[in-house]
Amino acid sequence: MSKLGDDATTATRTLRTMWQIRRFEEAVDDLFARGLMHGTMHLSIGQEASATGTCFALRDDDAITSTHRGHGHCIAKGADLERMMAELLAKETGYCRGRGGSMHIADVATGNLGANGIVAGGIPIAAGAGLAYQLQGLDRVVVSFFGDGAANEGAFHEAVNLAAIWKLPVIFLCENNKYGMSFSTEKSFAIENIADRAVGYGIPGVTVDGNDVEAVNEVVAAAVERARNGEGPTLVESVTYRWKGHSKSDKNLYRTKEEISEWRDRDPIIRFERSVVERGVLDQAAIDAVRAQATEDIRTAVRAANAAPDARPDDLLEAVFAPATA
Amino acid sequence: MSKLGDDATTATRTLRTMWQIRRFEEAVDDLFARGLMHGTMHLSIGQEASATGTCFALRDDDAITSTHRGHGHCIAKGADLERMMAELLAKETGYCRGRGGSMHIADVATGNLGANGIVAGGIPIAAGAGLAYQLQGLDRVVVSFFGDGAANEGAFHEAVNLAAIWKLPVIFLCENNKYGMSFSTEKSFAIENIADRAVGYGIPGVTVDGNDVEAVNEVVAAAVERARNGEGPTLVESVTYRWKGHSKSDKNLYRTKEEISEWRDRDPIIRFERSVVERGVLDQAAIDAVRAQATEDIRTAVRAANAAPDARPDDLLEAVFAPATA
Amino acid sequence: MTATPTAPAGTTDQGRVITYSEAVREALAEAMSADERVFVLGEDIGVYGGAFGVTGDLYHRFGAERVRDTPISELGIVGAAVGAALAGMRPVVEIQFSDFTCQAMDQIVNQAAKIHFMLGGAAEVPMVLRAPLGSGTGAAAQHSQSLEAWFAHVPGLKVVMPATAEDAKGLLLSAIDDPNPVIVLEHKLLYRTSGPVPEGAGRVPLGKTAVRRRGRDVTIVATGVMVQRSLEAAERLAADGIDVSVIDPRTLSPLDDAPILEDVSRTGRALLVQEAPGHVGFTAEIASRIVESPAIYRLLAPIRRLSGLDVPIPYAPQLETAAVPQVDGIVDAARSLMKDS
Amino acid sequence: MTATPTAPAGTTDQGRVITYSEAVREALAEAMSADERVFVLGEDIGVYGGAFGVTGDLYHRFGAERVRDTPISELGIVGAAVGAALAGMRPVVEIQFSDFTCQAMDQIVNQAAKIHFMLGGAAEVPMVLRAPLGSGTGAAAQHSQSLEAWFAHVPGLKVVMPATAEDAKGLLLSAIDDPNPVIVLEHKLLYRTSGPVPEGAGRVPLGKTAVRRRGRDVTIVATGVMVQRSLEAAERLAADGIDVSVIDPRTLSPLDDAPILEDVSRTGRALLVQEAPGHVGFTAEIASRIVESPAIYRLLAPIRRLSGLDVPIPYAPQLETAAVPQVDGIVDAARSLMKDS
Ligand SMILES: Cc1ncc(C[n+]2csc(CCOP(=O)(O)OP(=O)(O)O)c2C)c(N)n1
Ligand SMILES: Cc1ncc(C[n+]2csc(CCOP(=O)(O)OP(=O)(O)O)c2C)c(N)n1
Ligand SMILES: [Mg+2]
Ligand SMILES: [Mg+2]
């Protein structure tokens, strides 16, 4: 299997996606800071390789379930940047018409079954989508993203077991960024690797460097192949780090500046750039162009989203139930 | 450490307890069949060694949490047979004054924190009691009984993890009787031994022959020692079998007659009897006497319970809240 | 679609009489036969046939894939149904006792009920939860609750409580058709009761209140097993010369309140009967609808709620009976309403 | 014990003014200082100080054992509190958002609330759950619910909704003293509001309704953040010559309804305000209590409930505001009540 950085086209696409995620979230951070955005936000800056490497191992018709920290997953799965930004800006043109916000972006049509405000809420849903594909005789797979903290919810346990006993085509993708809000994995687990939990369900568990987009991609691709072949689920632990606070109100009291700066030095985007330059796949000029392009992609999205009409409160009651069609 | 069958006194006590459990449940079965008992029932006939071996590894001031299939746990922990029977017969003198019935017998004073109608409901409660003892600086331990089926509830997962990270003095005692109602462990788990789930929490896991009362006792005693020493919880899987249906409405469609009769041949009581006779600790006359005594114990309990006044419906509303005392 | 059935269960002049359980099973079988997307899942619903025998032989008729036994993992199962529904299936989950919805509340309330709205209409969650509720079996506090008020309070969830065999079938079929999550709360004591379910009886629409009996003096509104008890009370009251209506909302959310308001406006007296504890229960909503409407001006007596005591359901039979309304209590309440006015 | 506080938040003539958050924190600190058995546990309540900053510096004052950070395991945490309470402790759990009680419903409802009754009185479960509820922060449908009606419907559970800083402290202290499980639902928007909390202010008894303002024309009954909004509406209505009472039940279960019935009997008009969706909400119980009592004969107009829309809470600020009652809406509803009569 070839790696994401082996050819210029794929490397460009990979890099552009990672920069789009980074720039999207920088824009969000900025809009919040300037009081132009409402609600709450959870940024995945520093974790771009995990989202990108994973989604790039999927087909378009495969599905994901995502989390409160889900912008990266959405973008990597192919979401429209303008509709995403419009949602965050509470616009009628947003993915959820302004009803959901950052924590509920979904695009069921393109296989994004939804971010989730509930920690671990998406994990059983992913198992269920996998069950649907199995029953439908399709060879689609589902990736369920969730955090280290989510692995201590009952929902994780029940869903992984269902997938294991029914050999569902699901990849449980645990993004271990060392903290569930303020609580470190050293405190919340008595084991080294969350992937070891796989033993209890009789499925493979793999720990991968989540800041290495190519490594993530390879590990997930293998798990996807297993799942597509009817061999059942895999638990993948992608070890990474979030640079920013948990959400806007975080004072980072639970971790050191040194730790943050160590991880900033392991920037997954720069790392991939270095690697493809070293391997001669892209040159610096190409890389600069990709970054500029991503920056421009986001600017365009913000501009268009800003110009869109605000979400309308007039039909709230009618929007609760889906209308009968048949 | 000496085994339960090494001396005559302990062997007698062990045997009497197992026979009391057997006779108690036979009496219950009979009362139900004759329409003299109300509600539902879950018999643990065939599992007496698991309850007895475990509780005999505990001090009086240690605690247990039990299950819907809890008569054996209660008796082995020292419950009063008459008050138990009175509860099942819906009498005012029952442990719960007729409010709880079979699934809610508790004796908080003697460390039985309660049976539970909710599968896995007692597991987090056990962790909490362990936490209380730890905070109180006591060296008490808690055993949480639960079934194989319960190990697939989120409550199991969350509670075991809490105990693991806080090194709580808890023994998670999974009575694997091969079925959660009609669903076999082959179908509900993709692993051989439920004890392997311990790996995911970083605690020891042990599988033991649950029909060998001495083996259960030894394994639990070791786990209790660990817990008392502040070394944290253990997951013990006690492999056993229930001879009777899940509850009164069970037609046993999910298992074969052969399987049942194979396991009947492994009767844990007879096995212990044979072993102590072989070792010369008790002779057949002594064994017959113990059995007769247990039979008599239950007859007395049934007679006394039957004669007790029915539970009174007059103060239901006042019984909902505990009155303020301080 | 059939017309709103208004006959009390037990009459036989409408043809075939089957049990409530059989009616549920028939609906499941018809739905599975008609639509490949429909499948049922839950604990012990396969070879065991369901804790209350409701799925019965469906496992043998439709196979282990579509009549799917699950581990004891209510949260996981309901979540799996949400996911399967999002991915194009029409799952029907059996929760063995409705008390165990407590384990699955996140997926029911935070996920299933909200997804359509939260995603701005971009997705649907066509799933059904069937869950037996109620007391009367001696199963005590953790197996006997009536939690319909909770579910009715959740926007985005439809709530159904069939009181007759015909409704058990017809409302379930409609629930399976519905593009929204629907919880069907079946009363355990009704499973073995029988009622007319004409061959080929089909859908009973959601959101349509049924008038089970029309009287002059008192409007009784009742749900679940209380419908039958109210009809029995009505017979006894009739012998006394008190002529009551018995109205069964059937769908608790969204609620069709017009037939209730109309009837109360006519009788001037309302007796609201439920098995669940009274405090913040479903009938409080009925009382409120009445007194927010012009019907308030027609009241001849204060409204009377007759509910379960505000206690957990006790085990002992005499306590259990005392904890929830019985026919005698309904008769007495109706009589005292007549005296109050 | 202090007397029932009846002053609206914000007046300063009673001495010290602190925020609602500070009041909660003060109660926790006092309880922990006075009683070794009291400890608090929850997600991010330690060095982080709580998602809403409520526990603040308690971690530094009482240490990691007694101000205990937990994994994200609501069911496990609440269950651990039940077990710790049974074993002699007095745990106070913070559920980060009250929406996540969905994860823990089994332990709250099937265990904590029922154990005392189910065991025939042989055990007590003295535990407190604190859980922030309500909308207004843009956190959308899974982080903004008001679920008090559910809890009030559970026999064996006491339910408290403090609306002022003084109550936030005093009711929490009483909840910690209580030998029963108590859920304290704190409104997020109130955390930063301030009110008089006299030095040494102590317990406010559970089960005592507070009359926040006494008026001639309309009785407004409101809970949580709606108390403050109703008091603001009252000021505006007063300018119009409409003189309203504002009554705050504070404890939703068990409910002290006498002051409400008395006031409605006097004014003849009832406006019941809650943030939660109306359908089968808490104020339906208030309406029912009124119309089951002789107060019904004193009504000059139909009762009016003003509730959140029956929708999940939306994200967009203009939608979120539209989804729940605001001061304007309360003023309009009171005015129209006056017109109706
Ligand atoms: C059931 C539930 N509990 C708690 C929360 C509050 N919460 C939101 S995110 C979060 C931390 C999640 O940690 P993790 O799963 O590691 O994901 P990360 O934020 O690190 O990406 C918490 C506690 C929630 N949203 N849902
Ligand atoms: C949460 C919950 N789900 C389902 C049930 C119904 N139920 C009671 S016992 C039981 C089987 C339990 O199996 P296991 O844990 O193996 O215990 P066993 O009965 O074999 O002793 C089931 C499904 C329940 N009581 N609680
Ligand atoms: Mg994390
Ligand atoms: Mg079992």
DSSP B251-262: --TTS-HHHHHH
Amino acid D2: pLDDT: 33
**For testing the chain A interface, which of D318, D319, D324 should be mutated: the one with the most A CBs within 10 Å?**
D319
Are D24 and D186 in contact by the 8 Å Cβ rule? The answer is: yes
Residue B326: pLDDT band (50, 70, 90) is low
Residues of chain D with Cβ-Cβ distance to A98 below 8 Å are: 314-316, 319
Amino acid D7: pLDDT: 41
Q: Classify domain A8-307 at the CATH superfamily level.
A: Thiamin diphosphate (ThDP)-binding fold, Pyr/PP domains (3.40.50.970)
- Give the span between the Cα atoms of D244 and D233, in whole angstroms: 9
Task: Exactly one of D22, D26, D43, D74 is catalytic; name it.
Answer: D74
Q: How far is CA C63 from the centre of its chain?
A: 28
Phi/psi of residue C272, each to 5°?
A: -115, 120
Residues of chain A with Cβ-Cβ distance to C70 below 8 Å are: 162
- Give the span between the Cα atoms of C210 and A208, in whole angstroms: 60
For the record, the structure tokens of B297 come out as: 């114990």
- Give the span between the Cα atoms of A203 and B320, in whole angstroms: 46
- Which chain A residue has the Cα nearest residue C74? A158
Amino acid D13: pLDDT: 53
- Give the span between the Cα atoms of C164 and C22, in whole angstroms: 12
Domain C17-196 has CATH 3.40.50.720: no
Beta strands (DSSP E) in A210-276 are: 234-239
What is the mean pLDDT of the segment spanning C187-199?
97
Are B198 and B205 in contact by the 8 Å Cβ rule? The answer is: yes
Please check the confidence at residue B308 and state whether its pLDDT lies above 50: yes
Spell out the residues 6+ positions from residue A156 whose beta carbon is closer than 8 angstroms to its own: A120, A123, A146, A150, A172, B157
Amino acid C7: pLDDT: 41
Q: How far is CA A99 from CA A74, A304, B84, C124, D140, in A?
A: 17, 19, 55, 15, 7
Model confidence pLDDT, tens digit, residues A166-214? 999 999 999 999 999 999 999 999 999 999 999 999 999 999 999 999 9
**How much is the ipTM here?**
0.97
Residue D8: pLDDT band (50, 70, 90) is very low
> Is residue B242 flagged as an active site residue?
yes
Model confidence pLDDT, tens digit, residues A105-134? 999 888 999 999 999 999 999 999 999 999
For B10, the enclosing helix (H) or strand (E) is helix B8-33
Model confidence pLDDT, tens digit, residues C96-151? 999 999 999 999 999 999 999 999 999 999 999 999 999 999 999 999 999 999 99
Nearest CA to ligand 1 atom 21: A147
- Ligand 1 atom with minimal separation from the A117 CA: 25
Model confidence pLDDT, tens digit, residues D218-243? 999 999 999 999 999 999 999 999 99
Amino acid C14: pLDDT: 58
- Give the span between the Cα atoms of D122 and D128, in whole angstroms: 20
Inter-chain residue contact C121 with A322, CB threshold 8 Å: yes
Rounded to the nearest whole angstrom, what is the distance from the C-alpha of residue B176 to the centroid of ligand 4? 5
**For testing the chain D interface, which of A67, A105, A174, A183 should be mutated: the one with the most D CBs within 10 Å?**
A183
The DSSP letter of residue B150 is G
Region label for B105, one of left (φ > 0), alpha (ψ between -120 and 50) or beta (otherwise): beta
Taking each helix axis as running N to C, give the angle between helix B154-166 and helix D74-86, from 0 to 180 degrees, rounded to the nearest 10: 70
**Amino acid at residue number B169:** P
Taking each helix axis as running N to C, give the angle between helix A213-228 and helix A268-278, from 0 to 180 degrees, rounded to the nearest 10: 90
Residues of chain D with Cβ-Cβ distance to A174 below 8 Å are: none
What is the mean pLDDT of the segment spanning C157-182?
98
Task: Count CB-CB contacts under 10 A for residue D135.
Answer: 26
Rounded to the nearest whole angstrom, what is the distance from the C-alpha of residue D99 to the centroid of ligand 1? 13
For A281-312, b where at least 16 C-beta lie within 10 A, e where not — what string? bbeeebbeebbebbbebbeebbebbeebeebe
- Give the span between the Cα atoms of D276 and D286, in whole angstroms: 14
Model confidence pLDDT, tens digit, residues D248-283? 999 999 999 999 999 999 999 999 999 999 999 999
Model confidence pLDDT, tens digit, residues C221-280? 999 999 999 999 999 999 999 999 999 999 999 999 999 999 999 999 999 999 999 999
- Give the span between the Cα atoms of D141 and C212, in whole angstroms: 38
State how beta strands D182-187 and D210-213 pair.
Answer: unpaired
3-state secondary structure of C24: helix
Residue C80: pLDDT band (50, 70, 90) is very high
Separation in Å, CA of C49 to nearest CA in chain D: 26
Q: How far is CA B257 from CA B76, B265, D217, in A?
A: 29, 12, 77
Q: Which architecture does CATH list for C210-339?
A: 3-Layer(aba) Sandwich (3.40)
Residues of chain C with Cβ-Cβ distance to D117 below 8 Å are: 141, 311-312, 314
- Give the span between the Cα atoms of C72 and C44, in whole angstroms: 9
Which segments of chain D does DSSP mark as H helices, in order?
A: 20-34, 58-66, 74-86, 101-105, 113-118, 148-152, 165-177, 225-239, 258-267, 282-292, 317-323, 327-339
**For testing the chain C interface, which of D153, D157, D219 should be mutated: the one with the most C CBs within 10 Å?**
D153
Chain D interface residues (partner B, CB cutoff 8 A): 39, 65-66, 70-71, 73, 75-89, 91, 106-107, 110-111, 115-124, 126, 155-156, 158, 177-180, 254
Q: Which of C134, D74, A165, D79 is nearest to B118 (CA)?
A: D79
The DSSP letter of residue C175 is H
Q: Measured at the alpha carbon of residue B95, what is the angle toward residues B92 and B99, in degrees to the nearest 5?
A: 60
- Give the span between the Cα atoms of A174 and A147, in whole angstroms: 5
Which residue out of C44, C96, C105 has the highest number of ligand 2 atoms within 8 Å of its CB and is therefore the one to mutate? C96
For the record, the structure tokens of B308 come out as: 């007790």
Point out the residue among A96, A103, A181 whose CB comes nearest to the CB of D44.
Answer: A181
For residues D135, D138, D141, D145, the Cα torsion angle rounded to the nearest 10 degrees is: -20
- Whether D142 contacts chain C with CB within 8 A: yes
* All structural domains of chain A with their residue ranges: 8-307
- Whether B189 contacts chain A with CB within 8 A: yes
For the record, the structure tokens of D82 come out as: 């039940």
Q: Which of D155, D154, D136, D157 is nearest to D146 (CA)?
A: D136
3-state secondary structure of D303: coil
**In three state form, how does the secondary structure of D149-198 look?**
HHHHCCCCCEEECCCCHHHHHHHHHHHHHCCCCEEEEEEHHHCCCEEECC
Amino acid D201: pLDDT: 80
The DSSP letter of residue C313 is P
Beta strands (DSSP E) in C282-323 are: 304-308
With a CB-CB cutoff of 8 Å, which residues 55-114 of chain C face chain D?
A: 99-100, 102-103, 105-106, 109-110, 113-114
Chain B and chain C share a number of CB contacts under 8 A equal to: 132
Inter-chain residue contact D150 with C153, CB threshold 8 Å: yes
**In three state form, how does the secondary structure of C107-149 look?**
HHHHHHHHHHHHCCCCCCCCCEEEEEECCCCCCCCCCCCCCHH
* All structural domains of chain C with their residue ranges: 17-196, 210-339
Spell out the residues 6+ positions from residue A71 whose beta carbon is closer than 8 angstroms to its own: A21, A24, A25, A28, A43, A44, A84, A102, A105
Task: Exactly one of B23, B69, B197, B246 is catalytic; name it.
Answer: B246
For C211, the enclosing helix (H) or strand (E) is strand C210-213
**Amino acid at residue number B178:** K
Amino acid B325: pLDDT: 77
Let me know if D294 is exposed, middle or buried by CB neighbors in 10 A (0-12, 13-18, 19+).
Answer: exposed
- Whether D140 contacts chain C with CB within 8 A: yes
3-state secondary structure of D125: coil
- Give the span between the Cα atoms of B166 and B157, in whole angstroms: 14
- Whether D282 contacts chain C with CB within 8 A: yes
Chain B interface residues (partner C, CB cutoff 8 A): 38-40, 87, 90, 96, 98-101, 103-104, 116-121, 149-150, 152-155, 180-183, 187-188, 249-251, 253-254, 310-311, 313, 316-317, 319-320
Nearest CA to ligand 1 atom 2: A119
Task: Exactly one of C22, C26, C43, C74 is catalytic; name it.
Answer: C74
Are A268 and A214 in contact by the 8 Å Cβ rule? The answer is: no
Q: Which of C17, C5, C16, C19 is nearest to C192 (CA)?
A: C19
**Amino acid at residue number D139:** A
Amino acid C10: pLDDT: 43
Which chains sit next to B, with 3 or more Cβ pairs under 8 A? A, C, D
Q: What is the mean pLDDT of chain B?
A: 97
Amino acid A249: pLDDT: 82
Q: Residue D254: is the preceding peptide bond cis (ω within 30°)? A: yes
Please check the confidence at residue C2 and state whether its pLDDT lies above 90: no
Are B142 and B114 in contact by the 8 Å Cβ rule? The answer is: no
Q: How far is CA C112 from CA A320, B131, B165, C282, D5, in A?
A: 12, 35, 33, 21, 42
Q: Which of B113, C340, C27 is nearest to D112 (CA)?
A: B113
Residue C13: pLDDT band (50, 70, 90) is low
Amino acid D3: pLDDT: 35
Separation in Å, CA of B147 to nearest CA in chain C: 11
Residue stretches of chain A with pLDDT short of 70: 326
Q: How far is CA C226 from CA C20, C146, C329, D292, in A?
A: 15, 12, 11, 20
- Give the span between the Cα atoms of D180 and D168, in whole angstroms: 18
- Whether B118 contacts chain A with CB within 8 A: no
Amino acid B249: pLDDT: 82
Are A73 and A147 in contact by the 8 Å Cβ rule? The answer is: no
